Structure 1
Amino acid sequence: MGWKKYPQEVVDRLFLAIDEDDVINSETTEFPSVVLGTSQQNIRDYYALCLQLWEEGFTRQELLSLINQVLAGQELTKAQRKQYKFIRARYKHLRFAQRLYSQKHDADKIFKATTVYLGHFQDGFKNGDKNSVQYYGKILRLLLSRPIWSWVKYSLNHLHVDSETGFQRYVCAQLNELSTMLNKATVTGTEFHDIRKIVSQQVSFFDTQRSIENNPTQVYAISRFLANINGLMGDKHDEMVADKLSGVREYETPTTLDSQLRSDLEQLVEKTVRI
């Protein structure tokens, strides 16, 4: 479909932004006001960069080799674990891009499943869960087989991007959903996870924009502010999952949001102008 190709320095900027997109920081304490929306040309160009990051970042054989090594009972080296983490990060960013920019605002089913199973497989080998490693590893080997890989690549390259109006409608709905959840005194585990998914998609949008535009001050500030929220929520979610696994607390037990986190999320809602 003739997707735009970017110079390597632009791809590198995006990779660096993604590596920082859940790092807790205090670079920006006030969320800059932002008008929600962008042109259809930008929608197409942003998706093109996310696709390029994924296509050029690794090979099918490299990922399969890492999975087969773990399935064979061999531990990954520190460098290999980092390699796996970065491959998964590319999957996650492209999944966010499909949700944001496609007409259906959802990821390809096989691609989405692969992204999820890469996470479960990583949890398995990090925690020494051999059953999980075997189960998800064998599924991943199937999903990364040559015929399925070829189909997924075809699907990704033939994605139909949404219109400017459709994109605005989608992101406005996401912010309205966030606003509704913030009106509650407590949130369940699922609601907390849903809030983080909205934040993560917004982080990915501004990460992509600042990478293409070479870090303009306001876009960079928005990206870092959202990354801080993402990092705080990530730490809290890890705690909630650990409590569930240890039997300390059920995942769906209603919980209050940390006051600083709530304040930051409220800033995001209040200072984002819906067209």
Structure 2
Amino acid sequence: MIEKRFAPEVTQRLFTAVEEDDYVDAQVSLPPVIDLHCTSEIIQSNYALCLQFWEEGVQRRDLLDLTLKQASGVELSAAERLQYKYMRARYKHLRFAQRLYLQKHQAGFLFGKTTVYLGRFQDGFRNQKKDVITFYARLLRVYLSSPIWGLVRYRLRHSRLASVDNFVACRQAQMQALKTIIAKPKLTGREFHDVRKIISQQVSYYDTLRSIDPENREARQVSRFLAAINGLMGDKHDEMVADDMENRLAYATPVALDEDIRQRLELLLARFPL
């Protein structure tokens, strides 16, 4: 059972780091070689902080009320949209943590589905697609119900964590997958999204690491470099989703990867021990 707790300033540092996850800083590069050293204590502490970050920042009733309000045809205010965005960000960060630190490297089924549906619902109201909003609001009404919420919380606190060797192998496997995908001159929307998921998981690791240890300069450096890639890819993915929804360009259509993104990804692979 996960019991470790952190002081408020630690979770606040993580909140700030997550907020900066799409900030493109052109001045940040990488160390000559990315250090993959890790310990079981780091794995335990990182997962515990990600869990606390979600528990303290997501209230079931508040999140459900926001989805039902939007689905009823009443537009969320700017403050409510921001509240929704922050709660979804905490879901995403904990889903990354499950994929990184759990022995099976998978998010729980119910938690993972909820995270996906929150994203689809957000795409719906961003692009003013009433049918999408209605469909995912119905699903979220179930997935955010009290019985499922209780089951999800229990499973999150009773999870088997990965060993150090298993964790490092997982990170290396992700980089190998990234290398295979970007070897292609053009990527489909799904392949592009798969690359972004890998980057997002890696940046989440360094964000959590530097939130616990703010003196870890390398963690901050790698975090900022990955955040730049994440930001560039996030903007492009939003365009791809909007183009698909408006029938301008199908999500499955292969398109060339932006050269700036490709160069950053290639540098990451060159510095990452495989």
CA–CA distance in 2 between the matches of 1:153 and 1:27? 40
Deviation string, structure 1 residues 215-262 (Cα, Å, up to 9, x no partner): 532211111100000011111112222332333333222222222211
**Secondary structure of the equivalent of 2:89?**
helix
1:65 is aligned to 65
Deviation string, structure 1 residues 27-79 (Cα, Å, up to 9, x no partner): 40345521224111111110000000000113111112212222332221111
Retained in 2: the 8 A contact 1:28–1:225?
A: yes
1:108 is aligned to 108
Structure 1 residue 121, shift from structure 2 partner: 1.3
1:182 is aligned to 182
In the TM superposition, structure 1's runs of 4+ consecutive aligned residues that sit over 4 Å from their partners are: none
- Counting only pairs closer than 5 Å after superposition, residues 212-227 of structure 1 correspond to structure 2 as 212-227=212-227
CA–CA distance in 2 between the matches of 1:250 and 1:170? 32
Gapped runs of 5+ residues in structure 1? none
2:254 pairs with 1:254: yes
Moved more, 139-148 or 105-114: 139-148
- What residue identity is the alignment partner of 1:201? Q
Moved more, 171-180 or 241-250: 241-250
Q: 1:182 to 1:70 in 2, by over 3 A?
A: closer
Retained in 2: the 8 A contact 1:31–1:267?
A: no
**Secondary structure of the equivalent of 2:241?**
helix
CA–CA distance in 2 between the matches of 1:142 and 1:241? 25
Deviation string, structure 1 residues 166-207 (Cα, Å, up to 9, x no partner): 111111111111112232222222211111111010010000
2:47 is aligned to 47
- Counting only pairs closer than 5 Å after superposition, residues 108-147 of structure 1 correspond to structure 2 as 108-147=108-147
1:240 is aligned to 240
Retained in 2: the 8 A contact 1:189–1:252?
A: yes
1:211 is aligned to 211
Q: TM-score, normalised by structure 1?
A: 0.95
CA–CA distance in 2 between the matches of 1:123 and 1:258? 23
CA–CA distance in 1 between the matches of 2:5 and 2:25? 32
Retained in 1: the 8 A contact 2:95–2:112?
A: yes
2:168 pairs with 1:168: yes
- What residue identity is the alignment partner of 1:76? L
CA–CA distance in 1 between the matches of 2:44 and 2:166? 13
Q: 1:31 to 1:237 in 2, by over 3 A?
A: farther
Moved more, 165-174 or 132-141: 132-141
Retained in 2: the 8 A contact 1:34–1:271?
A: yes
Structure 1 residue 2, shift from structure 2 partner: 4.1
Moved more, 50-59 or 20-29: 20-29
Deviation string, structure 1 residues 85-112 (Cα, Å, up to 9, x no partner): 0000000000000000001101000001
Retained in 1: the 8 A contact 2:202–2:226?
A: yes
Retained in 2: the 8 A contact 1:103–1:163?
A: yes
1:267 is aligned to 267
CA–CA distance in 2 between the matches of 1:262 and 1:226? 13
**Secondary structure of the equivalent of 1:62?**
helix
* RMSD, aligned α-carbons: 1.5
1:228 is aligned to 228
Identity %: 49
Retained in 1: the 8 A contact 2:22–2:228?
A: yes
Gapped runs of 5+ residues in structure 2? none
Q: TM-score, normalised by structure 2?
A: 0.95
CA–CA distance in 2 between the matches of 1:194 and 1:99? 13
Retained in 2: the 8 A contact 1:31–1:225?
A: no
